[in-house]
Structure 1
Amino acid sequence: MVLENIHRRIEAGEKPLVAAYLGTRQVGFAVVATTLVLLAVFVPITFMPGDAGRLFSEFSITLAVAVVFSGFVALTLSPMLASKIMRGREGDGLLARLLARFFEWVQRGYRRALAVALLFPATTVPLVLGLAALCFYLIKTIPEEFTPREDRGSFFVTATGPPGSTYNYTVEMLDKLEDRLMYLVDETKEATRVLVRAPRSFSTASDFNEGIGVITLAPFDQRRNGFDIMAEVRGKVADVPGVKTAVVMRQGLARGLNKAMEVVVGGSTFEELAQWRDTILAKARENPRLLGLDCDYRDTKPQLSISINQARAADLGVSSASIGRTLETLLGNRRVTTYIHQGEEYDVLVEGSYSDKRSPTDLNNIFVRSDRGKELIPLSNLVTFSEFADSGSLNRYNRLRSITFDAELAPGYSLSEALEHMEGLIREHLPPSAIIGYKGNSLKLKESSSSMALVFGLALLVAFLVLAAQFESFIHPFTVMLTVPVAIAGALLGLQFMGQSQSIYSQIGLIMLIGLAAKNGILIVEFINQLRDEGVEFREAILTACEQRLRPIIMTALSTVMGALPLMLSHGAGYETRMVVGIVIVFGVSLATVVTLFLVPMVYSLISKHTGSISDVSRKLESELTGEETPPKMKHAALLPLLLFAFLLLPSCNLAPKYLVPQPKLPTEFKTSGPWRTAKPRDDASRGHWWSLFGDARLNALMKQAETGSPTLELAAHRVTEAKALARADRAGLFPFLTLNGAATRDRGSSNMQFQFAGGRTRTVLGATLDFDYELDFWGKLRNQGSAGRARAEAEQSDYQNALLGLQSELAMNYFALRAQDAQIALLKRTVALRKKTVDLARTRFAQGDIAQIDVAQAETDMAATEAEAIGLEKRRAELEHAIALLLGTTPSQFNQPAHEISGSPPSIPTSVPSDLLERRPDIAAAERQMAALNAEIGVAKAALFPSVSLGLTGGTQTSYFWKLADAPSRVWGLGPAAIEWPLLRGGGVRANIEATKARYDQSAASYKNTVLSAVRDAEDALSGLSILKRQSAAQDVMVASARKALELAQKRYDSGLVAYYEVLDAQRTMLRSEQEATRIQGERFLAAVLLIKALGGGW
């Protein structure tokens, strides 16, 4: 740029030294502006997050430093060398003269074409809009990749056998795989080495079913494209028996052997995820461009679940720890001790032989020693086992249970298209509760897309602001920056024409184009401004500037294009990434150069006719400073009325932040399956008599008594009354204050005072005045005080509702716990009666000599233990009665609840529910109202920064004679005081109070969020509890029936003399424990129902 301008001036007849000085000075502004714009473009790249930022930070710093040095050399060393070396065209050869004449012909043709174009400057508006629309369309339609797919010179073939495969099996399968791959080395010579290995990694023994093959390819010029070879290999290894294969080439910046596409789906349970997996795999496999589609959750690994019969183990004197150690030792291994040999410590491991644990039925051959009699007891008598299949690994993503779908992509199928296809399948076939995530290059693509848009926008903004500071105008930078969409459109068209996709490399190229494209606009606009400063007519200045700047623009564009052309056309290792950058620069700069030569001057003629240059601004400033022009007079005569009107509007100001009612991020459905849904908050909705769902008349009566007699509820009601009164007091400041003052005084003045009147006389003063005082609420302080008080009163009302709901739910829970306790006591009493009959029968049979005395003693012991247990339950029942009495507001001695066994089932969840679920919870409403109150208090605190204005008015009567109080001459009045109070210096206390109020508001916001999350957790706990307890109750009923049958059989066997009485006692204990557990579960179901009602704000 500098050399071309110096050469042009030398051709015009100037001396080299003068041409070097004046030529450099003429384009110095353009050089500085271009340098600063390029710096502004490259610097934001260093702040890119993630791998893209780490990859390009050094690149951007290097280019920024290079641009600075280039600008410095262009303004210093280049002019000096040009003045010494450059001369006129006297010594040019024939070819140089022909080229010069050709270029002169091009300049004249360009000037004539531009002159015609300047007749229609408005056509640039649809042109720019069309280019912007074209850019938007191309960005949306051109596929995206994180990085271009590169031929890395090697690829991998992974082989996975059935779960639990042995090492020998995997090695045998890998030998077959190696035989199919060796043709690449022996026949086609496209690979230099094929290496197979098992296991794939050496971390755990579970990897023995996985192997890997590494194929190192020959140099690029001796083989086909690596992806073509992979496609061929994929077909050859697809039918290897006994293994599942995948062909992978490392791509992008990801580590490990991850496939190109990785999509994560998160859910609540793995059972649900397994169903989703089958649905998505079935649909996704219909897409032939997803190669080797697989999922990391495969429920094919055999598992063995062992459950210990705790009651039977306790009866036989075997602890759970003994059973666990036995299983650990015989099925796995256990370290028992260590020994030292030659200074090294070694572990001593005990484990069972492989032949003893080949089948789950081998558990029948394991015995456990009892802690009592030291006899050996078969393990099968103490445990039950079941076989099932599950995944070898249970993965989580962002703390959610998740599964990952991965696949390679067919040639020409971009990562963005694959992700869009998978996202569409997930949204179409899975419920809204399915969470979509990403891994590997898929995650990096999503992250880089958002960050790159931010960096691109930041680069545009910084470049525009730099140009605005240089030109001291916003019009000229706008004209210059219109070259950017032209360059972007050219780059995107080049990517589409060459069949390439968008990636982080193309995006970096687009950012570079901002500076490269703006350079041409800077040259044209700056030279037009210089010619206008010299007095050249506007249109002629545009034509002359564009004609003279044509050559440097073409020269710089050609040098840039020719420098990037090898990047676009080269081949070899890593050429895919270089080619993308080359395409962007070549096509973007080419189109921007051609269009800019007409677009910039046409836009300049359209919007810049009444603008000036930097010199024009300097002249105006100098004129103002020297006083050659009179200062501007006031042009707006209506300014005073406008200010008065603004003053009248001041009382409508409000310094409190705009309060937005928080929208709690409640789930669209609960984790527990069911027809639940959410809606807008309705904490004021009627909750009704939800306890009537249980159909218990005693409970209904207790609820009525609690509502009228509970001291806790009475305390909450008084707090509501107090809060409402305080809210009215807070609103009182919005209204004028009117005070009636009456006074009567009698006094005597001194007679020895100078300049006194009526000295030494005694007088009486009678007065009655009515004082009016009103504070103007300019800054919203009084209104915010009223709003805060009203919000606090509403919060107290919600707290009352919360206390009422808590009282009702606690009363219901204690009531049902009492009924469950009555059922347990009744069960034990019935059992004691049966035991007593058994003891009487045993005594009779002992007297007849049919049984031994030990049988009688065991029966008596069992009866006494059961009777003692029944008596012990009375204590817990008394405590529950006392707790209910406290809730009712009465003393324990005045309350007695007759025994009444719990029966039936709790109310079932209906098939459809109203939408006001968690939103009716009063604690959520109270927390939100506290936020609103503190938000208003922020406005009160901010108002202390500004003056407070109050107006006063006084009127009344004053006299020394009582009978003249009503006379007109006795009347007095006063206007004022009109007081202004402004705290100018408080040592920072006012602002500290504002910060403290904001901090209290932030605390209330966090408390509100925690309240919402706790509400969701309570609902989830209650729903899952009800579901689990229902299934547990059904299972327990089966156990009770089985125990009853077992007792009958044991009694018959004992009566027949086949077994000892010990088995009868064991069956009786099992029967009692199972019935007690069934009763406990029944009570728990009622308690869970009450908890659900409380969690949902009262009923459903």
Structure 2
Amino acid sequence: MPTRKISRCLLPAALALALSACAVGPDYHRPDVPVGNAYKETQGWKPAQPADTALRADWWRAYQDPVLDGLMQALLAHNADLAQAEAQYRQAQALLKGARADFFPTVGANLSATRSGSSGGSDASTRGTQSTLTGTVSWEPDVWGKVRRSVESSRASAQASAADMAATRLSLQSTLAQTYFNLRALDAEQRLYAQTLQAYQRSLTITENRYSTGVAAQVDVESARAQLENAHTDALALEWQRAQYEHALAVLTGQPPSAFSLASASGIGKLPEIPVGLPSQLLERRPDVAAAERRTAEANAQIGVAEAAWFPDLTLSADGGLSNDRWALWLAAPTRFWSLGPALALTLFDGGARQANIEQARAAYDAQAAAYRSTVLNALQEVENYLVQLRVMAREQQTQDRALTASRNSLRLTENQYAAGMIDYLSVAQVEATALSTERSALSLQAQRLVASVQLIAALGGGWQAAPDEGGNTGSPPNTGSPSK
């Protein structure tokens, strides 16, 4: 092929490469959201030590509970919802690879053999076999940046999917921890009722003995028996409540409820110190916020994809091959053929479809940007809510402890008065009911504080960190493996 002809054919390709430095559509900038310089409800909040300025990925270890640690590891390994989120992330990664493939040419090959024949007016006839081997190369240079915007969109979608998986994992971990602490609170209540039933049984026995000697009235005996049976009823209700929490833990850890059981423990749990950080850190530490931001970047890139439709598509293609009517002569003297040339394609009229697609893409971006701002504000609200809840609950715990001490002292004094014959059993029953209610309220408040601490950790992002390039146009998806130990 003459050099001049080759130069003419390669000229469009060189032009395409020169133009490929530009990409239509707006460059992405993360939407601005006012988050404030500090949280409002941190008054009285104990600051974290310098060594504990950030949450860890394995945040649940702060509760120092080996059973909870084991349940969390089982969740990470066997939870079905987490496996589904991981598969969706792999699907997004595959879509990103597919988008990147458009940067490269498409190469194909075709091998065919055709047998044909003809005959004239006489008996003479001709028959022959034509064998053809053809190779094709086709490439559409990314002149206007359409492919780059598509890759940008797919990359942001993959990063959003990675953040979705992290959000799913954090939600499941938070649910497991809350379920676990609620179960432990029921264990404590069951121990309380076991002690209460023993005390009520002793009171009934004492009252029956006093009645048999004529010291107490029959109404005292019936009051003591009614109190004992009511306590039995309440204790039985705790059994099915605990069983339901146990079944929930089984499903969260990927096991059938029939194959899972959790022994009772002596304590509810220890409330850890939680490093709060700054509001601006939520933009990197909350996976749902990161996912919303990445979807905003994805929507922004789609504007460029839509705008690229206004420009012509340039395709460079080449065909070549070998042809012969005898296989044996393919290597010796085949017939060669080739073709090479560019093609431009441009839509001249589409009834406004391209403009409508651009308007749709811009509206989708505006909607996603608003969704991102809403996600950030809701995240800030959650943190503030749990901060004030934990702060007030700490004060409630102090008043509850004083009430518990007074209730126990009142019960001790009332039982002594009853033993001395100074009061009837109805007065004792009222004080015992108040004491039991106070004990249950104290246990409930302790469990609520643990649950609220888990909710605060989840609201802060649970120690998850976005990749350094998560807020930009490019970058790899964040690490979504199991948290480091």
TM range (shorter): 0.7 to 0.9
Which one of 932, 936, 960 corresponds to residue 325 of structure 2?
960
Corresponding position of 2:83: 714
1:1067 is aligned to 2:431: yes
**1:821 corresponds to which residue?**
186
Assess if the C-alpha contact under 8 Å between 1:918 and 1:1095 holds in 2.
Answer: no
- Contact 1:829-1:867 within 8 A present in 2 as well: no
* Structure-to-structure mapping, 1:799-838, within 5 angstroms: 799-838=164-203
Q: What CA distance in whole angstroms lies between the structure 2 residues aligned with 1:955 and 1:1082? A: 79
Q: After superposition, what is the alpha-carbon deviation per residue over 1:1029-1055, rounded to whole angstroms, capped at 9, x for unaligned?
A: 111111111101111111122223333
Alpha-carbon distance between aligned partners in 2 of 1:773 and 1:835, rounded to the nearest angstrom: 89
* 2:392 matched residue in structure 1: 1028
Tell me which residue corresponds to 1:863.
228
Q: What is the one-letter code of the residue matched to 1:695?
A: Q
SS at match of 2:408: helix
SS of residue paired to 2:320:
strand
Residue 786 (structure 1) aligns with: 151
Distance 1:918 1:730, change over 3 A: closer
- Name the residue aligned to 1:1038: 402
Q: Deviations over 1:848-870 (max 9, x none)?
A: 11111101110110111011001
> What residue identity is the alignment partner of 1:930?
R
Name the residue aligned to 2:483. Answer: none
Q: Which residue of 386, 393, 415 maps to 1:1051?
A: 415
Deviation at 1:819, TM superposition (A): 0.3
Q: Report the CA distance shift for 1:947/1:760 in structure 2 as closer, same or farther (over 3 A).
A: farther
Q: Is the 8 A contact 1:710 1:888 kept in 2?
A: yes
Q: Does residue 762 in structure 1 map to residue 131 in structure 2?
A: no
Over the residues paired in the alignment, what is the CA RMSD in angstroms?
Answer: 2.5
Asked whether the equivalents of residues 676 and 913 of structure 1 are also in contact (C-alpha less than 8 Å), the reply is no
Find 1:690's aligned residue among 54, 59, 75.
59
Note if 1:854 corresponds to 2:219: yes
Structure 2: how far apart are the matches of 1:967 and 1:796? 57
Residue among 417, 442, 462 paired with 1:1098: 462
SS of corresponding position for 1:804: helix
Corresponding position: 1:942 with 2:313: no
Residue identity opposite 1:832 in structure 2 = L
Change (3 A) 1:968 1:1096: farther
1:675–1:911: 8 Å Cα contact kept in structure 2? no
Residue in structure 2 matched with residue 103 of structure 1 by the alignment? none
Aligned to 1:761, the other structure's residue is in SS state strand
Deviation, structure 1 residue 774: 0.6
Matched, 1:974 2:343: no
Using CA pairs below 8 Å that are at least 6 residues apart, which structure has the higher relative contact order?
2
Counterpart of 2:364 in structure 1 is 1000
Q: Measured at CA, do residues 1086 and 774 of structure 1 come closer, stay the same or move farther in structure 2, by a change above 3 Å?
A: same
Letter in 1 for 2:227: D
Answer yes or no: is 1:991 the counterpart of 2:355. Answer: yes
Give the secondary-structure state (helix, strand or coil) at the position aligned to 1:747. Answer: strand
Measured after TM superposition, the shift of residue 749 of structure 1 is 5.0
Q: CA deviation at 1:840?
A: 0.4
Amino acid at match of 2:358: I
CA contact (8 A) 2:177 2:454 kept: yes
In structure 2, the residue matched to 1:12 is none
Shift of 1:917: 4.9
AA of the residue aligned to 1:790: R
Matches of 2:219 and 2:230, distance apart in 1: 16
Corresponding letter in the other structure for 1:718 = A
Q: 1:776 aligns with which of 125, 141, 152?
A: 141
1:661 counterpart residue number = 30
In the TM superposition, residue 665 of structure 1 has moved relative to its aligned partner by 2.7
* CA distance, structure 2, for counterparts of residue 983 and residue 658 of structure 1: 25
Aligned to 1:897: 262
What do the CA deviations read for 1:24-80 (whole angstroms, capped 9, x no partner)?
xxxxxxxxxxxxxxxxxxxxxxxxxxxxxxxxxxxxxxxxxxxxxxxxxxxxxxxxx
Q: Secondary structure at the match of 1:733?
A: helix
C-alpha contact (below 8 Å) 1:816/1:902 kept by paired residues: no
Deviations, residues 989-1035 of structure 1 (Å, cap 9, x unaligned): 22112211222212211111111111111111111111111111111
Following the alignment from structure 1 to structure 2, what is the Cα–Cα distance between the partners of residues 699 and 914?
29
Contact 2:17 2:143 in 1 (8 A): no
* Deviations 1:883-923, CA, capped at 9 Å, x for gaps: 11110111000000111243453112359899845521111
Deviant stretches of 4+, over 4 Å: 643-648, 674-677, 749-752, 910-918
Tell me: CA distance 1:968–1:661, structure 2 relative to 1, closer, same or farther (3 Å).
farther
**Is the contact made by 2:279 and 2:380 (CA closer than 8 Å) also made in structure 1?**
no
Matches within 5 A, 1:183-582: none
Instruction: Determine the C-alpha separation between the residues in 1 that align with 2:450 and 2:152.
Output: 43
The one-character-per-residue Cα deviations of 1:752-771 (angstroms, maximum 9, x if unpaired) are 9xxxxxx9633321111221
Counterparts of 2:232 and 2:109, CA distance in 1? 82
Deviation track 1:943-989 (CA, whole Å, cap 9, x = no partner) reads 1122111010112211111122234652221113x222211122222
* Structure 1 residue 1070: Cα displacement: 0.7
**Residue 1076 of structure 1 pairs with residue 440 of structure 2:** yes
Q: What are the Cα deviations for residues 164-215 of structure 1, in whole angstroms up to 9, with x where unaligned?
A: xxxxxxxxxxxxxxxxxxxxxxxxxxxxxxxxxxxxxxxxxxxxxxxxxxxx
Q: Deviations over 1:676-708 (max 9, x none)?
A: 79xxxxxxx994311110000101111111111
Q: For the residues of structure 1 that align with 2:255 and 2:235, how far apart are their CA atoms? A: 28
Partner residue in 1 for 2:316? 951
Instruction: Tell me how far apart the structure 1 counterparts of residues 305 and 101 of structure 2 sit (CA, whole Å).
Output: 15
Secondary structure of 1:902's partner?
coil
Contact 1:675 / 1:912 at 8 angstroms: preserved in 2? Answer: no
C-alpha distance 650-907 of structure 1, shift in aligned 2 (>3 A): same
Report 1:567-716 matches (<5 A).
649-673=18-42, 674=45, 687-716=56-85
In structure 2, what is the Cα distance between the partners aligned to 1:1021 and 1:760? 94
Change (3 A) 1:967 1:1010: farther
Q: Out of 703, 720, 724, which is 2:93 matched to?
A: 724
> Contact 1:713–1:803 at 8 Å: present in 2 too?
yes
2:106 aligns with 737
**Where does structure 1 lack aligned partners over 5 or more consecutive residues?**
1-642, 678-684, 753-758
Read off the aligned partner of 1:1014 and give its amino acid letter.
Answer: N
Whichever residue aligns with residue 935 of structure 1, its letter is N
Say which SS state the counterpart of residue 261 (structure 2) adopts: coil
Aligned length: 444
Name the aligned partner's letter for residue 1085 of structure 1. Answer: R
Instruction: For 1:657, give the aligned amino acid.
Output: P
Matches within 5 A, 1:6-85: none
2:310 counterpart SS class: coil
Distance verdict in 2 for CA 1:792–1:693, change over 3 Å: same
Question: CA separation of 1:1064/1:956 partners in 2, compared to 1, >3 Å: closer, same or farther?
Answer: same
SS of corresponding position for 2:40 = coil
Distance 1:767 1:672 in 2: 79
Alignment check: 8 A CA contact 1:902 1:1083 kept: no
Once residues 1094 and 1024 of structure 1 are traced to their aligned partners in structure 2, the CA distance between those partners, rounded to angstroms, is 15
Q: Deviations over 1:327-362 (max 9, x none)?
A: xxxxxxxxxxxxxxxxxxxxxxxxxxxxxxxxxxxx
Identity %: 37
Task: Give, in whole Å, the separation in 1 of the partners of 2:55 and 2:319.
Answer: 52
Alignment check: 8 A CA contact 2:138 2:316 kept: yes
Contact in 2 for aligned 1:724/1:793 (Cα 8 Å): yes
Q: CA deviation at 1:717?
A: 1.1
Deviations 1:233-266 (A, max 9, x none): xxxxxxxxxxxxxxxxxxxxxxxxxxxxxxxxxx
Select the structure of larger CA radius of gyration.
1
